[in-house]
Amino acid sequence: SHRRPCPHAKAKSLFVTRAREPTVPRTHGATMSAKAIREYHGKKLLSKYVKEVSSGKHVMDDRSVLITPLTDIAGLATTNTWLTTTKLVVKPDQLIKRRGKAGLVGIKLDWDNNENGSTVQSWIAERMQKEISLEDGKVTGTLDHFIVEPFLPHNQEDEYYICIQSTREGEEILFTAEGGVDVGDVDAKASRMVVPLHHEPTVEEILAQGLVQGVHSEQRQQLVASFAMTLLKVYRLLNFTYMEINPIVYNATTNQLEALDLAAKLDETATFLNASQWGGHVDFPAPFGRKEFPEEAYIRELDGKTGASLKLTILNHKGRVWTMVAGGGASVVYADTISDLGFGGELANYGEYSGAPSTEHTYEYAKTLIGLMTRDLDSKGKVFIIGGGIANFTDVAATFTGLIKAITAFQDDLKAHKIKIWVRRAGPNYQEGLQMMRECANSIGLPIHIYGPETHITAVVPLALGLAKLQDFPEFDDEDSPANNNKSSGVIKKSRSKMNLDDDEAKTERKIAATPPATTNGNDKQQHHQVENFTAKTRCVVYGLQNRAVQGMLDFDFMCKRSKPSVAAMIFPYAANHYIKFYWGTDEILLPVFQSTKEALAKHPDVTVVVNFASFRSVSPSVKEVLDSPEICQQIKTIAIIAEGVPESQTRALNLLAKEKGVGIIGPATVGGIKPGCFRIGNTGGMLDNIVMSKLYRPGSVAYVSKSGGMSNELNNIICRNSDGVYEGVAIGGDRYPGSRFIDHLLRYNDNPAIHMLVLLGEVGGVDEYEICDAIKSGRITKPLIAWCIGTCASIFPFEVQFGHAGALARGNMETALAKNSALREAGAHVPPNFFEFGDKVKEVYENLVEKGTLVPAPEPEPPKVPMDYTWAKRLGLVRKPANFISSISDDRGEELQYSGKTISEVFDEDVGVGGVLSLLWFRRQLPEYATKFIDMILMVTADHGPAVSGAHNTIVCARAGKDLVSSLTSGLLTIGPRFGGALDDAARVFAEAVDAGYDATDFVKKMRKSNKLIMGIGHKIKSLTNPDKRVEIIKNYALEHFSDNTVLKFALAVEQVTTAKKANLILNVDGCIAVCFVDMMRSCGAFSKEEADELVLNGCLNGLFVLGRSIGFIGHYLDQKRLKQGLYRHPWDDISYLTGEDL
């Protein structure tokens, strides 16, 4: 098909229908959430839901099959008999454009047995798994998916073109009465109709707007208009983001419309809404020409298992420049810089790791990258750039732990491939992370150059590529490392010829004059802007139990000397109202947590902001709860939506509702925003050390707006180092339809007399930057604007690459970063040649304002001191204190639970059993298999001894009294003592001491009788030598067969011979047998010294075995009584001897 999606159009009335002048040609793209699907799956969805939604009025032919290398072609005709009775069409189904013009469509073929020509089977056989080149050799790929469907005879005049695509305000329908391969310029020919969200057009409205004009009969127009209405309903129902049918054909036989060629995309983030409707077979194939590496699939699988973000796209697996970048925005900036410096062809990969990935996930990501990097040897060597912005909440040291683990494991491969590593990172705990990397470099002997936030985010790129001198950029731990390093400009300017950059900045006449000092009454008030201007009195509620983010906001408040905390309360709908303790400086305060949003806001009428941390699944209803309430909407002015992965349909609906209610939205997919000295949303600005470093505790004169949250922190750093600092900064979020746009904030900043400079960090994708160009040209924006759009590298990639943000993908030339930078420069914004010189441009404009007297810097206040949390201070090595508890048997702090150093997966892999787990947790070592089997036997033989014994009796009585399991079990366990079950320890101790003292059996019995002591472990009510206890026999025989030494057991058996000579039932009972055998096992298994074995007995481990084993039986009795529905137990009076006063 010939696909030309169209620019977004805004509806000024209910519908807009028009034919446009020709515009810049476009090819349809997608956001990260919008994923292309196969034509086969798209048609299956349409055939099912068009019929369902129209109640059978419109029926599409659903006959089609998808053939892959694994398809049983011979069996297809059996289940799809139409294949052998119908002329067929066959074509590849791999997102290939213009298949007809490329000769990739077989038309009017038989399935097989056609003696006169080609058949579908032979046509496919000639092409299956064959490599082809398209677009003048620019795209090469392998054919492996084909769709086969019936051939539909029709006339040329029965072919139409229809396309639906999403816009911010609704959906835009494009239609022409001429379709097919030669449809021509759709932008120029198509009639358009923008349908607002939540409105369902009627057939009459569609006809009245002239959308289907050109269709030759009134009856046919009715049919096409009705079909377009149905198609829109299906589009919205299934969360399509793009759908193009070219041609859609009138079938005169059935009086229906059929889709001959379909291109469509679904919103992948809506999977949780539509998975059952999409079915389990819909997949999202990679663009044709880009075969997915197994490593890419592995990282995608990892990404699905974590709340963090892990992305990887292989661009050139033989490339010499590899990157591992933290942050979606930062990943684009690094790729841009590599491309701008002329090394785009050597860039091997694009990707990111962000959102606080775990140590283990970081290790897996790094290991995968290094494995790819060391697959192909290059005599020139390679560079590995480990970069990133200043993190907001990711623990740099934790992620670097996984990274260092991978570098250490692959050190030999890295050395063999002559790979040099360059590191630049900052954020929470970055000092420890960088120091760990330095120690790694020293220990393994790899060349690793390490930089922190004092170095520009991309300075390591020209260094790694040999375009800058090492001496110009001291590393983070060099003695002469500057706190403010601004040597970047000179380096880049020297290398300009290598970068192939045009310095249009010098050629462009500056169209924005410095803003003169404005008169003001000193108030920073909300005027006509939807997002409010935050003040030092702005207060919010936080939706969700985000304790760390709330504490960060309170610390910022305290640092800024606010009189009251900015967080008034928290909302958590899954628990009753309660309080949570936080710090306010060194004092502790309680913040209320409400179950109801309405109640929280009613109790705090001064709150005007909601910071919503709800998940992507629940954020829509939680925000609508605010927007649907007239009382709440009168109070709330701004809602910040932090969640990523919100479906576009929900985002657009929330944006529309918020606009109607006059509420500003920041987000979704945002870190938030910050107004130094006043208010902070969530984790914006990062840790307190970064707040101080970037001077965010007091206002500056520069206000910025960005899409990227991570890059907003980098802007804080750049602006602070090149001006008097930030007045306000907002990250609007990386989705295609953010609640508030660049222009909303820039106009707000422009109208604020306290702000003297504006900063914009845009990116590839979308057209919002052109509104800013218009505002500059019209004079609506009058203050100097420093602007840059990231994503300039997109043009060098041989195929479509989705960058880190959902909206970062160009749908046409106008949406490219290069085009937008050029337009901004032409409009009069200050646009540097590249992002590397962004800080220099900020400094240039700032110093110009200061020189003219327009801006008078305020005196620098003393940086505030804020108490550091003990936990964080300890991690940084600043404090120490003794632990309250010491544990040596288990550890749950790492990626995997450990029992005495053995991971839980090893426990199962080695099948150690319950006895093995007990030995690890009780004895801190792995006992031999025969010993762990013996422990299992002890638990089995002690599990129960009937309902009459005291412990079982107590458990049963408690159960029948209606007590819970734990209470009933405890009642039974409390009876264990010297007279019931508690003799094991004493028996083991007494027999072992006798053996150690050298007693023979007779002397030992005499000694115990003389001391008037019972011999624990000897004696039974009914059992004797002639009627032995089977439990004793089992334990004894196992010990004699498997233990290398049975000294204590043999001594006990000798004692038994002496005692039974006096009375037949004075045998070695089960308690005594277990006790003496256990002592023999401990002493002879080789795992313990004699002293260690004796200590364990003294500590009560044998009684512990009885408690553990008998708990099994007690729980059984409890469950048995509940199952039998037994009522309250009352002991019969005739079983009680009542003694009266006379008797006593």
Using the Cα atoms of residue 920, residue 923, residue 925 and residue 929 in order, give the sign of their dihedral.
Answer: negative
Q: What is the DSSP letter of 101?
A: T
DSSP string computed for 994-1043: HHHHT--HHHHHHHHHHTT---TTB--SS--SSS--HHHHHHHHHHHHH-
Q: Interior CA angle at 58 toward 53 and 59, to 5°? A: 105
Q: Please give the backbone phi and psi of residue 155, each rounded to the nearest 5 degrees, phi first.
A: -95, 155
Q: Interior CA angle at 452 toward 450 and 457, to 5°? A: 100
- Other Cβ atoms closer than 10 A to 1054: 15
User: Are the beta carbons of 490 and 519 closer than 8 angstroms?
Assistant: no
Reported as half-sphere exposure (CB side, CA atoms, 13 A), residue 326 has a value of: 33
Report the C-alpha dihedral over residues 1024, 1027, 1030, 1032, rounded to 10 degrees.
Answer: 20
| Residue 58 token pair | 């419109």
Residue 532: strand, helix, or coil: coil
Q: Please state, in angstroms and rounded to a whole number, the distance separating the CA atoms of residues 1049 and 992.
A: 9
User: Are the beta carbons of 736 and 668 closer than 8 angstroms?
Assistant: no
Q: Please state, in angstroms and rounded to a whole number, the distance separating the CA atoms of residues 568 and 606.
A: 9
Catalytic residue among 417, 756, 805, 1117: 805
Q: Say which residues have a Cβ less than 8 Å from residue 396's Cβ, sequence separation at least 6.
A: 425, 426, 427, 428, 429, 430, 432, 433, 434
Instruction: Based on the residue annotation, tell me whether 805 is a catalytic residue of this protein.
Output: yes
C-alpha closest to that of 792 among 829, 828, 833, 760: 833
Beta-sheet pairing, 902-903 with 898-899: antiparallel
Q: Please give the backbone phi and psi of residue 173, each rounded to the nearest 5 degrees, phi first.
A: -105, 130
User: Are the beta carbons of 1081 and 931 closer than 8 angstroms?
Assistant: yes
Question: Which residue do the tokens 């002591």 mark?
Answer: 1013
Q: What is the DSSP letter of 1104?
A: H
Ramachandran bin of 391, using left for φ above 0, alpha for ψ from -120 to 50, beta for the remaining angles? beta
Read off the amino acid at residue 100. Answer: G
- Other Cβ atoms closer than 10 A to 217: 8
How many residues appear in the chain?
Answer: 1144
Q: Say which residues have a Cβ less than 8 Å from residue 11's Cβ, sequence separation at least 6.
A: 169, 170, 194, 196
Question: Which residue do the tokens 């049963």 mark?
Answer: 956
Q: Interior CA angle at 353 toward 348 and 355, to 5°? A: 160
Q: Please state, in angstroms and rounded to a whole number, the distance separating the CA atoms of residues 271 and 756.
A: 45
Q: Please state, in angstroms and rounded to a whole number, the distance separating the CA atoms of residues 390 and 329.
A: 11
Sheet hosting strand 65-67, strand order edge to edge: 65-67, 146-150, 88-92, 106-109
Q: Please state, in angstroms and rounded to a whole number, the distance separating the CA atoms of residues 14 and 567.
A: 41
| Residue 854 token pair | 């327009």
Residue 396: strand, helix, or coil: helix
Q: Please state, in angstroms and rounded to a whole number, the distance separating the CA atoms of residues 962 and 1129.
A: 10
C-alpha closest to that of 638 among 594, 674, 613, 607: 607
Beta-sheet pairing, 726-731 with 702-706: parallel
Question: Which residue do the tokens 């009134």 mark?
Answer: 218
Residues labelled as active-site residues: 805
